[in-house]
Amino acid sequence: MQDISLEQAISMLLEHTEAIGETETVPLLEAAGRILAEEVRAPFPQPPFDRSPLDGYTFAAAATDGATEEKPATLCIIGEECAGDFFHGTVACGEAVRLMTGAAIPTGCDCVIRQEDVRVEGDTLYVPYALAPYENYCFKGEDMEEGALVAEAGAKITSGLIGLLASLGKAEVRVYQKPHIFLASTGDELKMPGEALAPGKIYNSNLYLLAARLREWGFQPRVYGILPDDAALAADALKEAAASCDLLLTTGGVSVGKKDIMHEVRQRMGAERLFWRVAMKPGAPAIAYRTGRTLGVALSGNPFAAFATFEMMVRHVLAKASRDPSVLYRTGRGRLANGFAKVSPGRRIIRAHYDEDGTVRLFEKNASGVLAGLSDTNAFVDIPAGSPPLEPGEEVTVIRL
C-alpha cells in the first residue's frame, strides 16, 4: 500500500472531525480562551448615563457666555456629586454642581469644567472662560449603543472581551464545550515518572509531552496512562473511552513489530481504518480510525515521531473540533543558519529553533527516538521529498509551532 501524503491524511482526519456542538455556561472569569457560543449585544447603552470625564464643575454652558479671566461668570454651587452618586432634581441656568470623574451629569447641565480652571469662594464658582455645550461631556452610549453587536458566536474570548462583557453586567457566558480527548501510551517497557526504573524499561515521556501540549491550548485531556501491549486489554480500554470521548490519542504500537498491537486493537474495537502510513519521516506508520462518532489517531511511539505527527496532523483535528483556528501552527519561510548533511528521499520533518529575524537553526540530534533539543524546539523545518543536503543560508519551509 502506498503511503498517503500528509495533506491527504489531514483532509481525511478533518472529514471525520466534527466541530463540537455542545455548549456550556461558564462564569465570566473562567471564560478566557473559550469559544463563545452565543451572540452578545449590549443590553443597555454603555455608559448607561451621561457622565463627567474629569473632576470639576458642571452647569449649563449658556451661563458662561462672554466670560473672561477679567470678567468671570459667577455661578452658585448647589451640590456635590461623586462617582456612584446621583443628583436628583434639575440644575437651573446659573447654578453649578461639583462632580467627580464618572459622576452622572445632572439634568440642566451640558458641560464640565476642570477643577484646576476655576476659583471657588464659599458657594460661588468663578468660571474664567465661556464653555461650549457638551464640552468635557461623556455621552450615554458613547462606548456601546444599546443593541450594538459586542461579539459574534464563534469568537475566541480574549481578556479584552471579558472586560467588555463585564461592563455590560454579564456574569456568565455560553461557550462551546471542549473536545473530550483521551490520551494514553502503549508499551510494556514504559514506567511512569516517579516509579523506579528496571532493566529494559524507560520512562513514558510521550504521555507527558502530549498532555502538556494539549494543556497549552487549554484542553484538559483525560490522561489515562499506559495501555499494556495486549490488544484485547488495550481494545477494551479504548472502547470504553470512545463512549465518552471525541478523540482517542495513543502513542506506540503502530509499526510491524511483534508488539505493534494497534492494528489488532483497531480491529477488536470494530473501528473503521481511515489510513495507515503517511509519507513523512518520522512518524510514517501513524494509524487513523473511527469508531462511532469518535476519531482515533495512533501515533508512532518514538518520542519525536509522536510529537511531529501530533503537531502536523492532530493539531488540525483539535482546531476544527474546538472551533479555535488559533490552535493551528503557522507556516512560513526561513533561512537556515546551519546545514543538513543528509539527502531526503522522502518528506522529512526536522526539529528546529526559529528566530524572529527569520533564521532557523536545526538541532544537531534529530533521530526520532531522541528527545534532546525538544525544550528549545519552536519550529519544524519541512523538507520536501527528493531534496539534496541543505546548505546554510538556504530558504526552507518553516512550521512555527
- Is residue 282 a contact residue for ligand AMP (CB under 6 A)? no
Could you give the 3-state DSSP secondary structure of residue 214?
helix
Listed residue (381, 384, 305, 385) closest to 338, CA to CA: 381
Could you give the 3-state DSSP secondary structure of residue 50?
coil
C-beta closer to ligand AMP: residue 109 or 262: 262
Residue found under cell 519552536: 378
Q: Are 149 and 43 in contact (CB under 8 A)?
A: no
CB of 16 to ligand AMP, least distance (A): 23
- Given the rule CB under 6 A, which of 26-34, 100-108, 232-240, 297-305 is the region that contacts ligand AMP? 297-305
Select the residue whose beta carbon is closest to Mg ion and give its number.
252
Buried/exposed code over 92-125 (b: 16+ C-beta within 10 A; e: otherwise): eeebbbbbbebbbbbebbbbbbeeeebeeeeeeb
Pick one of ligand AMP, Mg ion, none as the site partner of residue 17 (Cβ within 5 to 8 A by kind): none
- Is residue 264 a contact residue for ligand AMP (CB under 6 A)? no
Could you give the 3-state DSSP secondary structure of residue 397?
strand
Pick one of ligand AMP, Mg ion, none as the site partner of residue 190 (Cβ within 5 to 8 A by kind): ligand AMP
- Is residue 252 a contact residue for ligand AMP (CB under 6 A)? yes
Q: Which of 46, 64, 250, 251 binds ligand AMP (CB under 6 A)?
A: 251
CA-CA distance, 131 to 270, in Å (whole number)?
A: 81
- Is residue 253 a contact residue for Mg ion (CB under 5 A)? yes
Q: Give the x/- contact pattern for Mg ion in 184-223, rule: CB under 5 A.
A: ---x------------------------------------
Listed residue (313, 335, 401) closest to 16, CA to CA: 313
- All 3 cell numbers of residue 401? 509551532
- Given the rule CB under 6 A, which of 48-56, 298-306, 316-324, 336-344 is the region that contacts ligand AMP? 298-306
Binding residues (CB under 6 A) for ligand AMP: these are 185, 187, 189-190, 202, 204-207, 251-255, 257, 260, 300-303, 369
